[in-house]
């Protein structure tokens, strides 16, 4: 059986990309990243990809008249590289059906909140200002709405009153780096079934006392 071929979309520093690349290098993930597409030529993620030996393509969104035209160029690049599963890792563009229809139920995103709470930008700031006691991160399948698609994996962290946004951001990010490779592993092993908004994961037992990650991480 051939390895699952990943395509990554990224725009920034690439910390989640690096977590995925390191999970592959360590043997935790039996997958390969065939292409990283970045829309910003100065993004730090490009250097990280080079360091990991991952091919890159810079497709600047400003060179296209519409989101759909940009997504068409991205889609064509991904398909040229035989991508099976598309992973958004700090990608700052809203994708359209042009891209989603090319990879049905095969586009993942990670969001630094426990969806459906605190969608959109600055989720950690929203959570800190709201005064929640529990915050976290969500890996979900991308659909036509922002931060809305079916949930694959979530991880929770305590939100300490008065600590501020940055401390909460750091704790959430540490969990992102754990659960994103885990979610990809579930797809690579064929354990994910999507029915409407519901995602079931074959082989995951009741989490029992593991209340902070659901499904429980292998």
Based on its alpha-carbon atoms, the radius of gyration of the chain, rounded to whole angstroms, reads 17
Task: Provide long-range contacts, Cβ within 8 A and 24+ apart, for 115-122.
Answer: 115/140, 115/147, 115/148, 115/151, 115/154, 116/147, 116/148, 119/146, 119/147, 119/148, 120/146, 120/147
**Does the annotation count 61 as an active-site position?**
no
Name the active-site residue from 52, 61, 81, 111.
Answer: 111
Question: How many angstroms separate the Cα of 138 from the Cα of each of 118, 141, 159?
Answer: 11, 10, 16
Which residues are tagged catalytic? Answer: 111
């Amino acid at each position: 059986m051939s390895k699952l071929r990943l395509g990554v979309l990224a725009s920034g520093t690439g910390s989640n990309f690096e977590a995925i690349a390191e999970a592959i290098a360590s043997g935790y993930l039996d997958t390969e990243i065939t292409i990283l597409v970045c829309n910003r030529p100065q993004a730090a993620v490009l250097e990280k990809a080079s360091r990991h030996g991952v091919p890159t393509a810079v497709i600047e969104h400003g060179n296209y008249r519409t989101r759909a035209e940009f997504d068409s160029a991205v889609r064509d690049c991904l398909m040229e590289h035989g991508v099976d599963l598309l992973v958004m890792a700090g990608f700052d563009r809203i994708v359209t059906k042009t891209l989603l229809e090319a990879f049905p139920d095969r586009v993942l995103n990670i969001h630094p909140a426990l969806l459906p709470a605190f969608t959109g930008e600055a989720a950690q700031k929203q959570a800190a200002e709201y005064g929640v006691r529990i915050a976290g991160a969500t890996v979900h399948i991308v659909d036509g709405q922002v931060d809305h698609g079916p949930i694959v994996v979530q991880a929770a962290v305590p939100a300490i009153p008065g600590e501020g946004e940055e401390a909460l951001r750091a704790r959430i990010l540490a969990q992102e780096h754990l659960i994103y490779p885990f979610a990809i592993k579930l797809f690579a092993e064929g354990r994910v079934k999507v029915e409407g908004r519901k995602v079931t994961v074959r082989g995951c037992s009741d989490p029992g006392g593991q209340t902070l990650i659901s499904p429980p991480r292998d």
